[in-house]
Amino acid sequence: MFVSLNWLKQYVDLQGLTPEDLAEKITKTGIEVEGVEPFGEPIENLVVGYVKECNQHPNADKLNVCQVDVGDEVLQIVCGAPNVAQGQKVAVAKPGAVLPGNFQIKKAKLRGEESSGMICSLQELGIDEKYVPAEFAEGIFVFDGDPEVGANASSLLNLDDIIIELGLTPNRSDALSMLGVAYEVAAILDTPIHFPNEDVQITEEKAEDVVSVTVKDGNLNPYYGAMVVKNIEVGPAPLWMRNRLISAGIRPINNVVDITNYVLLEYGQPLHAFDYDRFGSNEVVVRRATEGETIKTLDGEERTLSSNHLVITNGQEPVAIAGVMGGADSEVHEGTTTVLLEAAYFDPQAVRSAAKEHGLRSEASVRFEKGVDPDRVQRAGLRAAQLLSDYAGGEVLDGVVAYDELSYEEKTVTFTTSRMNHVLGTDMDDAHIQDILRKLQFSYEQEGETFTVSIPTRRGDISLVEDMVEEIGRMYGYDNIPFTMPQGAGNAGGLTAYQALRRKVRRYLEGAGLSETLTYSLTTEERANLLVSPDVQGENVRPVHLAMPMSEEHSHLRLSALPEMLASASYNVARKQKDVAFYEVGSIYVTKEAVLTKQPDEKERLAGVLTGSWLTHPWQQEKKNVDFYVVKGILDGLFDYLDIEEQISYQQGQVDGMHPGRTALVKLNGETIGHVGQLHPKLQKGYDLKEAYAFDVDLEKVFKAISSEETYTPIPRYPSISRDIALVVDENVAAGDLRKTILETGAPLVKNCLVFDVYQGEHLEAGKKSLAFSLLYLDPTRTLKDEEVEETHHAILDKVKEQYSAELRA
Amino acid sequence: MKERLVELKTEALEKVAQAEDAKALQDVKVQYLGKKGPITEVLRGMGKLPKEERPVIGQMANDVREEISTAIDEKQTKMEEAALEKQLQEETIDVTLPGRPAQTGGPHLLTSLIEEIEDLFIGMGFEIAEGPEVEADYYNFEALNLPKGHPARDMQDSFYITEEILMRTHTSPVQARTMEQHKGKGPVKVICPGKVYRRDTDDATHSHQFTQIEGLLVDKHVRMSDLKGVLNAFAKQMFGEEREIRLRPSFFPFTEPSVEMDISCKMCGGEGCSVCKGTGWIEILGAGMVHPNVLEMAGYDPNEYTGFAFGMGPERIAMLKYGIDDIRHFYTNDVRFLNQFHKA
Ligand SMILES: [Zn+2]
C-alpha cells in the first residue's frame, strides 16, 4: 500500500514529523514501512504559465513560438508539442530550472527563434509514463481549472509529495485504505481524525423509481446498494484527485472512473460505476452464474463462468463478475450521462476464487478477498455520489436501493489487566489500558480490572483475547517490555545420543579430509533412480514424485545423495578444481507406494564422493590418487572410531552404476547397509569425471550397532609375539576371507592380523597370488610360551590349507 | 724409575695430542694403559725398589696413569663432539621447503551455523527435536492454525505430493509433533533445525530448498518478556555483545502476538547504511506467543499454558554475517566456497 503523505495530512495532523520519523513510529507500532520515497523532485523555477499567443515557427513546421505569461514577465518559448495552444495554462520551466535527469533549462535559439524556457510534459517532470493520463501522453500537460499564473507548479503537480510504502501482513487489511492508515497513525500520534465529507445534495427524484435490486444468494452477497447519478459530464477529474491516484500507483482515466478509484483508496471499499443507459434493464439481479455462461469483461476478454462465480446481471445476462471486473457493454464512456453506482459486500472466498481462476487480481478484488469493513460499504457509496456531484456535474437521485442482510454487529473481547500483564510480562495499570483503548478508538466497558472491548468492524482481525494482547502490547511498545528469562522447571537441554554421534561422524570425516556438501533433495527422475544402494533397492521401491513440480530438475525425491553430489563434483572438475572429497549426511525418502497414502520412510544416510588426487607433495615426488582403498580406508577408520569394526565386513558386490569389479557391499553383522566402490566408467563419462569413487551407508543402522556401554580394556602387561606368514592361494581367494579364517582359528591368542604384502607375478605360478600376513599373539594374563604360539600357528596353517589350499610361500 | 714414568707420561700425552681419530686414540690407550703396557711394567718392577720408595713410585705411577687416562677421555669427548657437529652440519635441511600437506576437510557453512545456534540454545536448556521433511498437511498447516483454504497458505506456496502429503514448508510441524508427544504437559523446550521446501524459482535470493531453525517454549508462565530475554541472549552471543534487538509487530498464523526481531546493524552501528537500507536495523527472525488454537490442537489448555516460538533462516544469517550475495552458493558446493568456511 502506497501512502501519500500530502493526502494523509488531510485526515491527521502529522505534527511536523519528518517522513523518516513517522515511518519509524509506524514500523515499530504495527505496520512495516518498506520504503520512504519522494514522489517526484520538487523543481525550482517551475511555474504556471498562460499561453497568450501561439504561432507557427517561421522555419519549422512542427514547432510553435509561444508568448507565455509567467506572472512577472512574458517569456518567448519555442514548443514542439502537438497539443500546445493559445489560452492554455501550462507548466513552464523557466531558465535556471533543472528537470529530472539533470536537464538544465537555459535560454537558447531554436531555428533562429529565441526560446526562454520550456513548456513541460508530465514525463519531463519525472512522472512515470504509465500514470500519465492518455490525453497528455503525447504532449505537454495542460492545467484544467484556473490556477494562478506564476504559481509554483511543483506543488500543484504534487512533486513535493513523499510516498510511504506499507508492507501489509495478511491480518492488517484494515490499512488497505487511507482512512485505515489514518486510524493507525492517529492512534500512534494520539491525534484526532478529520473524516471526509459524505453529505450529498439530492434531487427529488427517487432512485427506487428507476432501479430495483434483487439478490438471489444473500450468503455470497449480504449487501448490495445501488445509487443513481444523472446528468454526468464525463471529463478529466480535478488535478488534486489525479495527483493522489498517481501517488497511489493508479492511472487517471476520467472523472467517473477516477472517483470510484479514489473512494476505493480512501475507504478501502471498491465501487463500480455502470452506464445506466447501457445496463440493459432497470433491475439489478445478483446471482450465481450458470455453468458455461459467458461475459465480455471490460478488458475485452470473453470469459466463461461457472456456478461458483457470483455475477451482477440485468435480469437476463451478466454485466459484471462480482467484485472482480465489470462487463464491456455497460462500461462508463465519454458519452455516459447517467451512472448506476454499486457499493456492495461480496463474499471474500467467492471473489478470491473468481479472481484467481480468471487471473484478474486487482485493487478491488484484493480488498474484497480480505473482507471489507461493513460499516463503510454504504458510506463509500455516499462519498462517491458526493464527489460525482461536485466534480462530474452529477445530480444524485434520492436514496440507496439496497439489499441488506449484512451484520454490522461489533464483536466483544473480554480480558483482565492481570492477564494482559501475565502474557506480556509487564506491569501496566488499568489507566494505561484505558489510554491505549482511547487512542485506538475502541469503546469498552470496565468492571474492576475486567475490560469488555467492542471491536470496530474495520478491525476484522481482532476476535480473541490474544489479538487484544497484541493491540495493547504494540501500543504499549514492545521496546518497553522488559527482558526476562523463563522461569519454572527447565529441561537439562542437550543433544540426544543419536545427534551427538552424528556430530562425531561429521568431525571424523572432516578430520579425514572430506568436505561436507549440501545438495538438493529434489532431483530429476533419472537421478532419483540412479545409484540406489542395494539395501535401499527392493521390489516396488521408487522415488517419490511431486504432484506439480516447478521443473523436471526438481521433480523427484532422492533415493541416494550420490547423483547430486557427483553433479557437484563434476561442476568443480569443470572449473579446474579437480580434487574433490565430499561427504554428506542427509535423508533419503523410501516408499513402495505408487501413490502415497502415508509419508515415505525417511532414512538418514552417509554418502561420499571422491575423485582426483588424494595427496600431492610434488617436490618429494609423492602423489597418490584416490583409489578404492583410500575410500574404503576412510570407512574402515570410521567404523574403528565408532568401535564397531568387528561387526563390519565387505563383500564383492554388484550395484547399478558402479564398477562391477571394484565395488563392495558394506555389511554389518552380515546385513548389507551400503556400498563403496568406483563409479562405472560409463557413468563417470556421463558426469565428465575421471576415476570417481563413492560410498553410501545407512547411518541409522551404523549408530544402532554401537554399544552404549563403554568399557576400559587394560593395557597389556605381558609381551606380545609377532609372527609373519606368506600364503600362496588362487588369485580369486579374497584376502578378507583368509584373514577372517586366520582370526577365527587363531582365537583367542591371535589378537590381530594385518595384510602387509600382496604379490602376483613372475615368481609365482600363473593364477596364484601371495598374501603376507603379520599375526599378533597375546595373552593378557601371562607371558606366552613359544610352544603355544607354534601350536596355534600350525593350526592356522592347517586350516587355511584345508579351506583355501593355501601353501606357505617358500 | 721416576724418570721413566715422566718420560712415559710425556710420550703418551704427546701421542694423545697427535691422535687424529678414534682408532689412534684407542691405540694410545691400549699401548700405555693396557695390562701389558709400560706403566704396568713399571709397577711390576717396583719389587726391586727399597720399601720406603715403593709407595712414592706407586703413587706416581697411578697419577701418571690417571693423567693419561683423563687426557684420552677429554680427547675422546672432543672428537665425539666434533663428529656430532659434523653430522649435524651434514643433516641440515632447507626448512623453508613446503611441508607435506595434511588432509583437511570441514563442515558446510550452514551446518556450522546450525550447530553454533543449537549449542547456544542448549546452553539455555533447550533440546534438539527433528522430524520428517515429507510431512502431513495436518502437521504442516492445520495443527498450526492454517486450516485448508486459509489465505495465509498463499504466503508459502508448497510442493504437494498428494492432497494430504507435502514437502514441509517450515520446521514448525516438528513443534506441533513435539507438543503432541508431550500430551498436554509442560515444559516443552526445543529447537527444531532442518531442511524446508517452497515453490520458489531459484535465484540470487530464493531457493526451493533451504534450512530453518525454529524454537519453542511452552510452559505455565511463559511471558513475552521471556521471549525478549531469550532472543536478546541469543542475539548477543551470535552477533556480538554490542548488538541491540528490537521487536516489531508482524503476523504469523501460528503466533499471536507475532513479531519480527531486528538487530542493530553492525556495519553502521545503527546510523543507517546500504546493508540495513538506511534503517539501522536488520531483520533476523520471526517470533511470537504461541497462538491459543495451536496450543489447543496439541492438547494444551491455553488458559493454563502459554508459550513462545521463533524461527530463523540460517542462509539469511550466513549471508548477513559473511556478505554472501547469492543463496545458490550454499547448494552449488563449489569447493572454493566450501573451503572458505573450514577455517577455525
Ligand atoms: Zn547499517
Q: Is the pLDDT of residue A182 over 90?
A: yes
Contact A170 B126 (CB under 8 A): no
Strand B127-128, strand B188-197: pairing:
parallel
pLDDT one-digit tens code per residue, A190-246: 999 999 988 988 999 999 999 999 999 999 999 999 999 999 999 999 999 999 999
pLDDT one-digit tens code per residue, B12-41: 888 888 888 888 888 888 888 888 888 788
With CA atoms as reference, report the closest residue to A83 among A159, A134, A128: A134
Task: Name the minimum distance, in Å, from the CA of A669 to any CA of chain B.
Answer: 28
pLDDT one-digit tens code per residue, A387-414: 999 999 999 999 999 999 999 999 999 9
Residue by residue, what is the 3-state secondary structure of A430-471? HHHHHHHHHHHCCEEEEECCEEEEEECCCCCCCCCHHHHHHH
Please tell me the distance from the alpha carbon of residue B341 to that of residue B318, in angstroms, as a whole number. 11
Whether residue B116 is annotated as binding a ligand: the answer is no
Distance from Cα B342 to the centre of ligand 1, integer Å = 28
Confidence of residue A559 (pLDDT cuts 50, 70, 90): very high
Residue in the block written with cell 504534487:
A158
Rg (CA), chain A: 42
Return residues 548-567 of A near B (CB < 8 Å): 548-550, 554, 557, 565
Return residues 112-171 of B near A (CB < 8 Å): 115, 118, 121-128, 130, 132-136, 149, 151-152, 155, 159-162, 165, 167
Handedness of CA A259, A264, A266, A269 (dihedral sign): positive
Please tell me the distance from the alpha carbon of residue B155 to that of residue B198, in angstroms, as a whole number. 10
Residue in the block written with cell 504509465:
A130
| pLDDT computed for residue B41 by the predictor | 80
| pLDDT computed for residue B107 by the predictor | 97
Q: What is the mean pLDDT of residues A116-137?
A: 88
Please tell me the distance from the alpha carbon of residue B319 to that of residue B328, in angstroms, as a whole number. 11
What is the maximal distance between C-alpha atoms in chain A?
A: 131
Confidence of residue A344 (pLDDT cuts 50, 70, 90): very high
Please tell me the distance from the alpha carbon of residue A318 to that of residue A286, in angstroms, as a whole number. 9
| pLDDT computed for residue A489 by the predictor | 63
Residue in the block written with cell 520428517:
B132
**In Å, what is the CA distance from A133 to each residue of A87, A445, A480, A518?**
21, 51, 48, 53
Please tell me the distance from the alpha carbon of residue A264 to that of residue A273, in angstroms, as a whole number. 12
pLDDT one-digit tens code per residue, A251-279: 999 999 999 999 999 999 999 999 999 99
Q: Can the peptide bond before residue A170 be classed as cis, meaning omega within 30 degrees of 0?
A: no
| pLDDT computed for residue A669 by the predictor | 95
With CA atoms as reference, report the closest residue to A443 among A433, A454, A434: A454
| pLDDT computed for residue B96 by the predictor | 92
How would DSSP label each residue in B267-286?
TTTTS--TTTTTSSEEEEEE
With CA atoms as reference, report the closest residue to A68 among A88, A83, A82: A88
Q: Is the pLDDT of residue B321 over 90?
A: no
| pLDDT computed for residue A170 by the predictor | 85
Task: Name the minimum distance, in Å, from the CA of B193 to any CA of chain A.
Answer: 12
Residues of chain A with CATH 3.50.40.10: 202-404
Q: What is the mean pLDDT of residues B120-140?
A: 95
- CATH level 2 (architecture), domain A2-39+161-189: 2-Layer Sandwich (3.30)
Confidence of residue A705 (pLDDT cuts 50, 70, 90): very high
Q: What is the DSSP letter of A60?
A: -
Q: What is the mean pLDDT of residues B112-141?
A: 95
- Chain A nearest-CA residue for B187: A490
Q: Is residue A235 exposed (0-12), middle (13-18) or buried (19+ Cβ within 10 Å)?
A: middle
| pLDDT computed for residue B186 by the predictor | 78
H or E stretch covering B219: strand B209-219
Fold assignment, A497-705: BirA Bifunctional Protein; domain 2 (3.30.930)
* Residues of chain A contacting residue B222, judged by C-beta atoms under 8 Å apart: 486
Q: Where is average pLDDT lowest: A129-143, A209-223, B223-237?
A: A129-143
Q: Where is average pLDDT lowest: A28-32, A282-286, A679-683, A693-697?
A: A28-32
With CA atoms as reference, report the closest residue to B115 among B132, B125, B128: B128
Class of domain A46-156: mainly beta
* Residues of chain A contacting residue B338, judged by C-beta atoms under 8 Å apart: 515-517
- What's the distance, CA A301 to chain centroid? 31
Residue in the block written with cell 452477497:
A221
| pLDDT computed for residue A275 by the predictor | 96
* Residues of chain B contacting residue A542, judged by C-beta atoms under 8 Å apart: none
- CATH level 2 (architecture), domain A411-479: 2-Layer Sandwich (3.30)
Count of alpha carbons within 13 angstroms of residue A241, beta-carbon side: 27
- Which of B188, B225, B293 has the highest number of chain A CBs within 10 A, making it the mutation to test binding with A? B225
Distance from Cα B279 to the centre of ligand 1, integer Å = 7
CA end-to-end span of chain B, whole Å? 81
Please check whether residue B199 touches A, CB under 8 A.
yes
Fold assignment, B109-341: BirA Bifunctional Protein; domain 2 (3.30.930)
Contact B101 A615 (CB under 8 A): yes
Q: Is the pLDDT of residue A41 over 60?
A: yes
Please, which residues bridge with residue A652 across strands? A664
Please tell me the distance from the alpha carbon of residue B213 to that of residue B313, in angstroms, as a whole number. 6
With CA atoms as reference, report the closest residue to A350 among A326, A387, A313, A324: A324
pLDDT one-digit tens code per residue, A572-607: 999 999 999 999 999 999 999 999 999 999 999 999
Percent pLDDT > 70 in chain A is 100
| pLDDT computed for residue B11 by the predictor | 85
Whether residue A516 is annotated as binding a ligand: the answer is no
Contact B340, B334 (CB under 8 A): no
Contact A486 B104 (CB under 8 A): no
Q: Is the pLDDT of residue B155 over 60?
A: no
Q: Is the pLDDT of residue B156 over 60?
A: no
Please tell me the distance from the alpha carbon of residue B2 to that of residue B58, in angstroms, as a whole number. 10
Class of domain A202-404: alpha beta
Nearest to A550 among B189, B201, B249 (CB): B201
Contact A558, A528 (CB under 8 A): yes
Q: What is the mean pLDDT of residues B112-137?
A: 95
Task: Name the minimum distance, in Å, from the CA of A708 to any CA of chain B.
Answer: 20
Contact A611, A631 (CB under 8 A): no
- Chain B nearest-CA residue for A506: B107
Distance from Cα B321 to the centre of ligand 1, integer Å = 13
Most confident of the following: A714-723, A779-788, B210-219, B262-271: B210-219
- CATH level 2 (architecture), domain A721-808: 2-Layer Sandwich (3.30)
Residues in contact with B219: Cβ distance below 8 Å, sequence separation at least 6, in sequence order: A486, A488, B186, B187, B188, B189, B305, B306, B307
Other C-beta atoms closer than 10 Å to the C-beta of A204 total 6
With CA atoms as reference, report the closest residue to A673 among A622, A606, A757: A606
pLDDT one-digit tens code per residue, B258-282: 999 999 998 888 888 888 888 889 9
Contact B250 A169 (CB under 8 A): yes
Residues of chain A with CATH 3.30.70.380: 721-808
Residues of chain A with CATH 3.30.56.10: 2-39+161-189, 411-479
| pLDDT computed for residue A317 by the predictor | 93
| pLDDT computed for residue A495 by the predictor | 94
Nearest 5°: phi and psi at A281? -170, -175
Query: Would you list the domain boundaries of chain B?
Result: 2-85, 109-341
Q: What is the mean pLDDT of residues A41-50?
A: 90
pLDDT one-digit tens code per residue, A422-481: 999 999 999 999 999 999 999 999 999 999 999 999 999 999 999 999 999 999 999 999
Please tell me the distance from the alpha carbon of residue A214 to that of residue A315, in angstroms, as a whole number. 9
Residue by residue, what is the 3-state secondary structure of A270-335? CEEEEEHHHCCCCEEEEEECCCCCEEEECCCCEEECCCCCEEEECCCCEEEECCCEEECCCCCCCC
Average pLDDT taken over every residue of chain A: 93
* Residues of chain A contacting residue B118, judged by C-beta atoms under 8 Å apart: 495
pLDDT one-digit tens code per residue, A650-687: 999 999 999 999 999 999 999 999 999 999 999 999 99
